[in-house]
Amino acid sequence: MSSSEPNVKRVHLAWTGEGLAFQGRAAAGTSLVLDGDAEQAPSPTDALLLSLAGCMAIDILHILKKSRVSITALTADVEGERAEKPPRRFESVRIVFTVTGPEAEDESRMERALALSEGTYCSVLHTLRSDLRLDLSVRRG
């Protein structure tokens, strides 16, 4: 595989030498820290929830802007429930998106943006197991 392949993503991860902390770097040079102890940075499972919410929030933002819906803020509150026994995967995730700025008449556009992200666009969501229970909602702030 060549690094010039448009559908290939590459990252690098290296232990920092401290606890369970790892420094990750994307091919573009951007970086982040993951910490299995969640002391220096989000744990990998916290980062997964953040990635899911971030992916969907980006979709919602793009779709609402294309729909000419005025937005001043967008937040996501996420709750993931994990299995009790290993591999302790997420069995369900609840995300509440709050969009500030839209008018009452924009409710259907907000619901459509959420449905498009869930059904079509969010690559993080579509990478997860198909039996993940997902509870999504979007509301005006």
**pLDDT tens readout for residues 63-112:** 999 999 999 999 999 999 999 999 999 999 999 999 999 999 999 999 99
> pLDDT at position 3, please?
55
Please name the helix (run of DSSP H) or strand (run of DSSP E) that holds residue 105, with its range, or none.
Answer: none
Query: From 1.10.357, 1.20.58, 3.30.70, 2.20.25, which CATH number describes the 1-41 domain?
Result: 2.20.25
**pLDDT tens readout for residues 4-40:** 788 899 999 999 999 999 999 998 899 999 999 999 9
| Residues near 51 by beta carbon (within 8 Å), at least 6 away in sequence | 124
Place of tokens 């509870």: 135
- Residue ranges of the domains in the chain? 1-41, 44-140
| Residues near 74 by beta carbon (within 8 Å), at least 6 away in sequence | 57, 60, 61, 97, 98, 99, 100
Helix (H, G, I), strand (E, B) or coil at 34: strand
Does the reported pTM lie above 0.85? Answer: yes
Domain 44-140 class, CATH top level: alpha beta
